[in-house]
Homo-oligomer: A and B are copies of this chain.
Amino acid sequence: MSGAGASQDSGVRLGIIAGGGSLPFEVAKAAQEAGHRPFVIALAGNAGKDIEQFPHAYIGVGQIGRMLRLLRREKCSAIVIVGSLRRPNLLRLKFDSGFVWNLPTLLRLMKGGDDSLMRRIARFFEERGFELRASHDFAPNLLAPAGIFSRAKPSPEAMGDIKLGFQVAKALGAFDIGQAVVVAQNYVLAVEAAEGTDAMIARCGPLNKWGVKEKRGVLVKAPKPGQDMRLDLPAIGPKTVELAAASSLAGIAVQAHQVLLADQAALVEKADSLGLFLYGARADEF
């Protein structure tokens, strides 16, 4: 399980700041199997119960002071941030004094597009002495492979849709917008911005079904051009496949080695049982 990044480290005390979904558990498990010592800082209301199998503590999203104290107490030399995060309702957040001290910085963090937010979060930790790392440095097997990784194969028409999808994603990358597009029969059905991939796929159902029964159309998901690979990598999981099937899509294409696969075995099994293809496009392919 140990990859290029992890093999250079030995026995790192790794702080895992854990959002929702299965990825935080998978990263902690892979890191432990590679000889590291994970400590999970679980974001309450987001992180799943499974992370409790590792040394851990819960914090609220507003408890920046507590988070920094925990990272110091546990002598974490590196940290990763992984998992989904519900956009906080600012009126309901519980703030600690660390939050208040860091408030000017945090307010600056909130303005502007997603990607620059990510870069500023990275700098925030680095200025406080923690090395921010990519979760796939410790769990390289979570990255999507190149080529077809399902039983179903993309048709020539689907390959055309995939190409158009990556072109649209690339054009949008300059604007810090979402990382996903749905294309069917050379027609862009939906573009993700702030609503998230799941909501975007869901609205494609009625748009994709005018009078035909066969599956068609592709979800394309890619990182932004120049994206900081340590933070907020796009991810797909079994639920993504279910939603794509419910909207009658023929398959999913991701950028190989730059998109995370959550719960990979279940994801592939789901795609195979529903007849969808899974495709990892190489960076130079489109």
Give A residues with C-beta under 8 Å from B.
87-91, 111-114, 164, 167-168, 171-172, 174-177, 182, 185-195, 199, 203, 207, 210-212
Contacts and interface: CB of A to CB of B under 8 A. Distances in A.
A106 B191 CA distance: 27
Contacts of A192: 191
Given A172-B172, A207-B194, A186 B111 contact: yes
29 contacts: A87-B210, A89-B210, A89-B211, A90-B211, A90-B212, A91-B211, A111-B185, A113-B186, A114-B187, A164-B175, A168-B172, A168-B175, A168-B177, A171-B171, A171-B172, A171-B174, A175-B188, A176-B187, A176-B188, A177-B188, A177-B191, A188-B193, A189-B193, A190-B193, A190-B194, A191-B191, A191-B192, A191-B193, A195-B203
A89 B190 CA distance: 20
Contacts of A171: 171-172, 174-175
State the oligomeric state as a number of copies. Answer: 2
User: Chain A contact residues: over half helix, strand or loop, or mixed?
Assistant: loop
Most buried by B among A167, A177, A182: A177
Contacts of A188: 113, 175-177, 193-194
B175 A112 contact: no
Contacts of A172: 168, 171-172, 191
Contacts of A175: 164, 167-168, 171, 188
A196 to B, nearest CB: 9
